[in-house]
Amino acid sequence: MRALRRALGWIVALVVAVAGLFLLWATMSGRPQDLPWTPLDLGEPIGLSTGRKLAALGDDFGRCRALLDRAGVRYTVLPPRRDGAHCGYADGVRFAAGGARRIGYAPESVGVACPVAAALAVWEWNVVQPAAQRHFGQRVVRIDHFGSFNCRRIYGRDSGTWSEHATADAIDIAGFRLADGRRITVIGDWRDAGNRSAFLRDVRDGACRLFATTLSPDYNAAHRDHLHLDQANRGALGWRACR
């Protein structure tokens, strides 16, 4: 028993020491985005805590909108919507042209919960556009999608858990249009052996750092033609899914 207590003591001391070193590193390196208690800034590079801070925006629509405003993202607020007991939203926004964003969505009418919009903006700036420059030497001008709000359960079943689409906390990304007109699609290029597949995997992996759930064709056949990105708020210590 004494040996067990001694071992537990060493483990606790090690955890405290590692946490202290992490705090010192994050403070000294000037990376507040790595610390869970610092304010979120959409204009900062992605940090270790950025994804959880984005998911937590679901608790405060006003703060989420203020962050979009500060980052120069133009949007319109959608009227609250309620479809039955389980579907609807009160924090919906729709991107508008211009501002800090230089990318379009097709169809243009997509409305998403504000935390999803904030994550999409950070994803574009820090993941999508850098990956497009690396692999194709040009920028993405449009993101194609299959929509966001949809009052349904997961996989459209008659029973079970309600989908994050039911509250506009998810969006399904189908593909990307480059400046030269080329279109990169999940269904057509995920298995490609060249830079198209590499690009899609890079943007998937980057999304994993920003969204609570990121699902791709590697997850199952139901996602063979899109990337599912959702911003379910599972709390500061909630699990995150990336496949």
* Residue 183 main-chain phi, psi, to 5 deg: -115, 125
Model confidence at 241: pLDDT above 50: yes
Beta carbons within 10 angstroms of residue 91's beta carbon? 24
Identify any residues that bridge with 183 across adjacent strands, giving them in sequence order: 177
Q: Can you give the pLDDT at residue 139? A: 96
Alpha helices (H) in 29-95, listed in sequence order: 50-56, 61-70
- The residue assigned the tokens 């909108």 is 65
Q: Write the burial class of residue 37 (CB in 10 Å: 0-12 exposed, 13-18 middle, 19+ buried).
A: exposed
Residue 40's pLDDT band (cuts 50, 70, 90): very high
Beta-strand pair 241-242/213-215 = parallel
In the chain, pLDDT over 70 holds for what percent of residues? 85
- The residue assigned the tokens 């609250």 is 80
Which of 219, 233, 229, 135 shows the shortest CA–CA distance to 184?
135
What is the tens place of the pLDDT at every residue in 173-193?
A: 999 999 999 999 999 999 998
Amino acid at 232: A
In the chain, pLDDT over 90 holds for what percent of residues? 72
Q: What number of H helices and E strands is found in the chain? A: 7, 12
Q: Assign residue 137 a region: left if phi > 0, alpha if psi is -120 to 50, beta otherwise?
A: left
Q: What is the dihedral of CA 219, 55, 230, 198, to 10 degrees?
A: -60
Q: Can you give the pLDDT at residue 28? A: 45
Model confidence at 158: pLDDT above 80: yes
What whole-number distance in Å separates Cα of residue 75 and Cα of residue 72?
Answer: 10
206 vs 24, which has greater pLDDT?
206
pTM of the model: 0.86
Orientation of helix 195-208 relative to helix 114-123, angle to 10°: 130
Coil, helix or strand for 168? coil
